[in-house]
A and B are shown apart, each in its own frame.
Chain A
Amino acid sequence: MIVPGPRPVAAGLGEEIELAAEGSTESVAVPLRLARATSPSRALERRRERRWIKAAQSGSEQALEHLYRRHWPWAHRAAYLVVHDAAAAEDIAQEAFLAAIRSLDRFDRARPFGPWLNRIVVNRAIDWARARSLRRETGADPDADIAATESANPERGSPVYSDEVVTALRQLSPEHRAVVVLRYLLEYTPGEIAKALGLPRGTVNSRLRRALDQLGTEMEVAR
């Protein structure tokens, strides 16, 4: 298991990233979180990320690798927890990074990288999961990934119930999974989630409540 580093955080209060995704200028709402994050370590982290972006824009592969290794674990994990398909999660995270590379020259360094990336990831993951839920599966075992996860988990049987929560999460709709992932993995506020997903804040809150209730029920049943 790759243990993600500190969750990348946003840099501006209600700001918008001027970043063209795949050739078109796209204004993306940025989480408000970092406006509250004033600790020296976070400020240092933001400065360091800005330096990486600047260097990557100038052609530094090393800077790009720093950015990649900083953000990949979160993007990949978020995608996986929404789609529950390892191959699709990998594709979704890759596609998001490729979109970022295509737009790198136009990236405003004053803006945060992670929230923009994660917004793409989560929205694509929702689309993918919706599409999958509509199709009739043939030739694929929908539980293959979970089975593989369980058998590959050396801690199975230990007090760590991480695969249990993944299984329970799977019972939720893609939309509910997404709000759980944004809230509890990426630590967005409901307002930030609303902006990222283009939903009313009340809808986000109700989805969160319903998702948590269902998660609790599923995990109780599993025990």
Chain B
Amino acid sequence: MRSADLRRRLRDAPIPDEHEARERGWRVVHAAYAGRRPVGASATAPRRLAVALAMAAIVLAVVLTPAGAKVVDLVRDVVKPNAREAKPLTALPAPGTLLVESDQGPWVVQRDGSQRLLGDYREAEWSPHGYYVAVTSEHQLSAVEPDGTVHWSLNRRAPSDPRWVPETGYRIAYRTGSSMRVVGGDGVEDHMLDPSVAPTPPAWRPVPLARAKMTQGEAGENVVAVAEPDGRIELIDADTLTVYWRTPRGPVPTELAWSADVARLVALSGSEVRVFSSGGKLLRTVRLPAGMEATDGAFAPTGKAFAVTGTMRTHHGLRSQALVIPLAESQPKPRPLLANTGTFSDLSWSPDGHWLLVAWRDADAWLFLRPRRPGDVQTAGQVSRQFSPGSTSGAKVPQPVGWCCTSIGGS
């Protein structure tokens, strides 16, 4: 075949869905472009940067130094929300749909604040693109549509922590008793993955947009990180049950999370964040601020930063902090975003990565933080009442468990 002929054939080869793909791509690219701030576009940008830096310096000094402790209340008045005066949640500050666990069951909250109760379930987890929600009840794991329609159910004893494979959604890993099992995204081919695991949600390795190089002999698509009872972490192929690697023993993590680029696996446990390479090598251990015990953690959609909430006991009582660890930096150190009395229990990133939702249990409030603008906090108050309509007794503060779906931008 002549070169010109091959050239012509490659150029003319039909591509499925070509026009639609181009227009979809343009919408995504255009949205990303609209969300950026051009350099030099605003004359006030340097001033704003200086103010932000000054504010960040104050926050750091207050949070990190003993001398700063005395002025913490003053700063709190400036950058902290007043939960008692906060308005109910009427809209989400960023695009996407929020999944919330409450006493009554999981709710789906739309951007405009409208909400729908999925049913009498315990836990809920979005499928990769938000078409379904995996929910658990006492004896069932089910996939339901966001309008509550049940797609399929599987009878298992006390299923918990369901997690979908990112992107494809071909598998769901879940715990039952002390074991970890895997079922197809369509509810079939349920099988045992690991008979004895720690009470830690599994973490599927993101594929196929992985940027990490993969060599022959490494894992396939449906590969999941699982914590063992002795604190070791294993990477297991859910289809072949091949264990690709296993870390040494360590503290049992409460959270496992992969970065979007598959370069890092984070294990959050107590007062530290261990960062592993995609090959299971411990890259570093990041200590949380002294006395802080992590309550939740999640990667930003970009995978560059890992947000953590946690509590610490002081002589004034329980205090909480939300912070971000810039794991893409060579020497990542926690950057405090917000501190206050009480408990920050759960967190969730907005799909565009611009907002971090933190549940403030003692204040019955949700805090919407902007990691890029630490002083910019929006507060929604009395959220327990909002997610327990008609309830006359006190309900627990609803937990945001997922803000669907991962999109572009981010911090």
Bin the interface of chain B by size.
Answer: 35 or more
Q: Which of B94-102, B205-213, B356-364, B379-387 contacts A (4 or more CB under 8 A)?
A: B205-213
The 8 Å CB contact of A152, one of B16, B38, B214, is B16
**B residues near A119, Cβ cutoff 8 Å:** none
Q: Which of A32-40, A43-51, A133-141, A188-196 contacts B (4 or more CB under 8 A)?
A: A133-141
Shortest Cβ distance from residue A189 to the other chain B in the assembled complex, whole angstroms: 13
**B residues near A72, Cβ cutoff 8 Å:** 22, 25-26
**B residues near A61, Cβ cutoff 8 Å:** 30, 33-34
Q: Which of A10-18, A74-82, A108-116, A199-207 contacts B (4 or more CB under 8 A)?
A: A74-82
Bin the interface of chain A by size.
Answer: 35 or more
B220:A136 contact, CB within 8 angstroms: yes
The 8 Å CB contact of B22, one of A23, A73, A149, A184, is A73
Shortest Cβ distance from residue A198 to the other chain B in the assembled complex, whole angstroms: 11
List B residues 14-38 near A (Cβ within 8 Å). 14-19, 21-22, 24-26, 28-30, 32-34, 36, 38
The 8 Å CB contact of B24, one of A90, A148, A152, is A90
B16:A163 contact, CB within 8 angstroms: no
> Is residue B315 contacting chain A, with contact meaning CB distance below 8 A?
no
**B residues near A1, Cβ cutoff 8 Å:** 12, 14-15, 18
The 8 Å CB contact of B408, one of A23, A98, A104, is A98
Chain A CB within 10 Å — which of B10, B26, B239, B261 has the most? B10
The 8 Å CB contact of A4, one of B11, B26, B221, B239, is B11
Shortest Cβ distance from residue A122 to the other chain B in the assembled complex, whole angstroms: 13
A181:B10 contact, CB within 8 angstroms: yes
> Is residue B112 contacting chain A, with contact meaning CB distance below 8 A?
no
A81:B13 contact, CB within 8 angstroms: yes
Q: Which of B1-9, B144-152, B268-276 contacts A (4 or more CB under 8 A)?
A: B1-9
B38:A166 contact, CB within 8 angstroms: no
A149:B220 contact, CB within 8 angstroms: no
B208:A139 contact, CB within 8 angstroms: no
> Is residue A52 contacting chain B, with contact meaning CB distance below 8 A?
no
Tell me the dominant secondary structure on chain A's binding face: helix
B184:A162 contact, CB within 8 angstroms: no
> Is residue A153 contacting chain B, with contact meaning CB distance below 8 A?
yes
**B residues near A131, Cβ cutoff 8 Å:** 207-208, 210, 214, 220-221
B29:A59 contact, CB within 8 angstroms: no
Q: What mask results when residues 60 to 97 of chain A are scored 1 for a CB within 8 Å of chain B, else 0?
A: 01001100110011001100110000101111111101
B14:A152 contact, CB within 8 angstroms: yes
Task: Given A23-B328, A216-B1, decide whether A68 and B26 contact each other with a Cβ distance below 8 A.
Answer: yes
Task: Given A132-B221, A215-B1, decide whether A166 and B25 contact each other with a Cβ distance below 8 A.
Answer: no
A161:B9 contact, CB within 8 angstroms: yes
Task: Given A97-B25, A127-B214, A162-B13, decide whether A219 and B36 contact each other with a Cβ distance below 8 A.
Answer: no
Report the bound CA distance from A165 to B261 in whole Å: 32
Task: Given A76-B25, A86-B21, decide whether A130 and B214 contact each other with a Cβ distance below 8 A.
Answer: yes
The 8 Å CB contact of B239, one of A94, A105, A136, A164, is A136
Task: Given A148-B16, A162-B9, decide whether A97 and B29 contact each other with a Cβ distance below 8 A.
Answer: yes
**B residues near A23, Cβ cutoff 8 Å:** 304, 328
List B residues 248-286 near A (Cβ within 8 Å). 261
**A residues near B7, Cβ cutoff 8 Å:** 184-185, 187
B16:A145 contact, CB within 8 angstroms: yes
Q: Which residue of B lies closest to A120 (CB)?
A: B211
List B residues 191-247 near A (Cβ within 8 Å). 207-214, 216, 218-222, 239-240
Instruction: Supply 25 A–B pairs (Cβ within 8 Å), ascending by A.
Output: A1-B14, A22-B302, A24-B328, A57-B39, A58-B41, A61-B30, A64-B30, A68-B29, A69-B22, A86-B21, A90-B25, A94-B25, A101-B32, A127-B212, A131-B210, A131-B214, A131-B220, A134-B214, A134-B219, A135-B207, A136-B221, A136-B239, A162-B13, A165-B6, A185-B11
Query: Nearest 7 A-B pairs (CB), nearest first?
Result: A135-B220, A135-B221, A162-B13, A165-B9, A86-B16, A105-B39, A185-B10
Binding site for B on A (CB under 8 A): 1-4, 22-24, 56-59, 61, 64-65, 68-69, 72-73, 76-77, 80-81, 86, 88-95, 97-98, 101-102, 104-105, 124, 127-128, 130-132, 134-136, 138-140, 145, 148-149, 152-153, 160-166, 180-181, 184-185, 187, 212, 215-216, 219
Q: A77-B15, A81-B10 are in contact. List 12 more A-B contacts (CB 8 A).
A: A57-B39, A59-B41, A90-B24, A102-B32, A104-B36, A131-B207, A136-B220, A136-B221, A153-B14, A162-B12, A163-B13, A180-B10
